Structure 1
């Protein structure tokens, strides 16, 4: 992933290609003034098509005051459940929040004090291409943190793989709808044993107590 990240630079040919196809963008902000400010900056650019709500074919431009648990849950939902690519505009990011953002699927971040129209459009076009776009100082911090994690994990054997696999999400979505094991198996064309194995595997791997705990985890992390 780090190889695909790039720091602030002059838009290249790929930017111009993205511009020609118009990128749909939905702006979300904690207050009307911040939202209207971003919308007014983006509206002047013909390569941007403004939309009211994020979705699978949009770039979500998210303006956040702080990256608390509520903000991270909102980001996960937009990226994982709604399928949007995202750009986050924020005042500051603590060390503990940086990997959380990357874990949410956020690859483009803009400092709020650098959020000019040009900078916002550049980040949006990068996100639309699936590229990373981080401020240079933030990229350095990310590389340092990943290196620290890798060194810390080097001596650990059998560390658990976190996150949910697609079929685990499918099963938990049906559990959340109230279906029992047999109904889930019928719906997904699995055997009942397979459904039980999927649930057992994810609860064991993620140290979850039961199905309800697993559904709560999936909801909190934005999978369903």
Structure 2
């Protein structure tokens, strides 16, 4: 797997490139400090995953364009994790959003590998932010017009929101007053409906597509 790193800060960019270059399963890492420079690099066209700093001028448009032009999965890495930035990046097509402040070499490599398989990646401290914004958009904009963001029924939404918040099946069952078997069946139905393979992929897909 080849990776491309777009970050305006040379020292940080070289650190990320070094970490990824030493990781198993990564065969090459290219880099750039600006969007203009990135488009001039052959490594961008070959990359399976592109790691983008949200602070790069033109980052959101770059995310949209690189997804369309190369099909690469985009992972945004930011030092701020601002609420509007998270929502904007995901809306633009980013598959994940991680924070520099809490990043380690191990978590960076894990996030890149997860993104490469199509799994959504979201820093735990940011997941609630994303869910609140999606919920607000549904309640304030769509619901009054009789519209909905979701293909999931209300029970499936309830279950997946709790799972996304990190609750184990036992706690989900207790909160919703269902049996654990029922919760497992609901999750299985959602996994099947969303055409993914695992519970974590179902959560990532549901968050990314605004289904919960």
* TM-score for the superposition, normalised by structure 2: 0.58
Give 5+ residue unaligned stretches, structure 2. Answer: 31-42, 149-212
Alignment correspondent of 1:163: none
Alignment correspondent of 1:31: 9
2:32 is the counterpart of 1:54: no
Matches within 5 A, 1:1-224: 23-52=1-30, 53-55=43-45, 58-64=48-54, 66=55, 70-152=58-140, 153-156=142-145
1:157, CA displacement in angstroms? 5.2
SS state at 1:48 partner = coil
Residues 144, 56 of structure 1: CA spacing in aligned structure 2 closer, same or farther, 3 A cutoff? farther
Give 5+ residue unaligned stretches, structure 1. Answer: 1-22, 160-224
SS state at 1:155 partner = helix
Alignment correspondent of 1:175: none
* Structure 1 stretches of 4+ moved >4 Å: none
Q: For the Cα contact (< 8 Å) 1:62–1:86, is it kept in 2?
A: yes
In the comparison of the two structures, how many residue pairs are matched?
135
Q: Find the aligned partners of 1:27 and 1:59 in 2 and give their Cα distance.
A: 9
1:115, CA displacement in angstroms? 2.3
1:93, CA displacement in angstroms? 2.8
Q: For the Cα contact (< 8 Å) 1:25–1:51, is it kept in 2?
A: yes
1:95, CA displacement in angstroms? 2.2
What is the root-mean-square deviation of aligned Cα atoms in Å? 2.1
Instruction: Select the structure of larger CA radius of gyration.
Output: 1
Q: Pick 1 or 2: higher relative contact order, CA cutoff 8 A, min separation 6.
A: 1
1:56, CA displacement in angstroms? 6.3
SS state at 2:27 partner = strand
Residues 144, 67 of structure 1: CA spacing in aligned structure 2 closer, same or farther, 3 A cutoff? farther
Q: For the Cα contact (< 8 Å) 2:4–2:47, is it kept in 1?
A: no
